[in-house]
Amino acid sequence: MEKLVSSWNNVQTVPEKHVVGAYATEVKKLAATILELICEGLGLEFGYFGGKLSEIPSMLVNHYPPCPDPSLTFGVSEHCDPNLITILQQESDVLGLQVLRNGEWIGVEPISKAFVVNMGYLHVNHKCSNNKLRSVEHRAVTNSEKARTSFAMFFIPNGDSIVEPAKALADSRNPAIFKSFQYKEFITHFINRTGGIDVALEPFKLQA
């Protein structure tokens, strides 16, 4: 993590680098613990998601100014995070984040001192866990009166890392759904896709 903070030396827009660095360090520990517990829960070997698959921590601060007519725009439109796991902090008491459940958008109320944990679309969802865990589709709506800020820490695979179905989870009744690929191949498809989220994995689907 020191490497991360020192890489900000030329970044003038991060005023409290030590605070951000300390926060990022703790969130990284939290993400590692959650990933280990997921491994244990799924029956994967210890450290399966560690290393290259969650190598790149990346922080995004989202700021949504008030919008006089929230029906006209989203803060962030519907998506799944294309990474391994995201830890989100909703700083204020302003509602904005929504998740899709059974076809309905549900508001995720900010809870003081609590994080929102999003399973990333790629690994945990369709590949590494062979569909055992699902990534939730989410979006952020705007508020007509109050501004809202959220802090997202994404844990992203190294571009060269190989994404493959967890062998321990695939068997004759639950065969692998996608072929192995490098993360950078997927992310290129994800960014350049012209359709919905699932289009990004289409090229990697194994024939049924």
Binding site for ligand OGA (CB under 6 A): 60, 62, 76, 81, 88, 96-97, 138, 140, 150, 152
Q: Which residues contact 110 (CB under 8 A, 6 or more apart)?
A: 90, 91, 92, 93, 94, 95, 97
Q: Is the dihedral of CA 43, 176, 56, 135 positive or negative?
A: negative
- In the list Ni ion, ligand OGA, none, the entry touching 24 (Cβ below 5 to 8 angstroms by class) is none
The nearest distance, CB 97 to Ni ion, in angstroms, is 9
Cβ 4 vs Cβ 28: under 8 Å: no
The nearest distance, CB 86 to ligand OGA, in angstroms, is 6
- In the list Ni ion, ligand OGA, none, the entry touching 150 (Cβ below 5 to 8 angstroms by class) is ligand OGA
Place of tokens 């939730």: 136
- In the list Ni ion, ligand OGA, none, the entry touching 123 (Cβ below 5 to 8 angstroms by class) is none
Name the CA radius of gyration of the chain, rounded.
18
The nearest distance, CB 139 to ligand OGA, in angstroms, is 7
Place of tokens 């900010």: 110
Cα dihedral value 162, 58, 112, 67, nearest 10 = -110
The nearest distance, CB 21 to ligand OGA, in angstroms, is 20
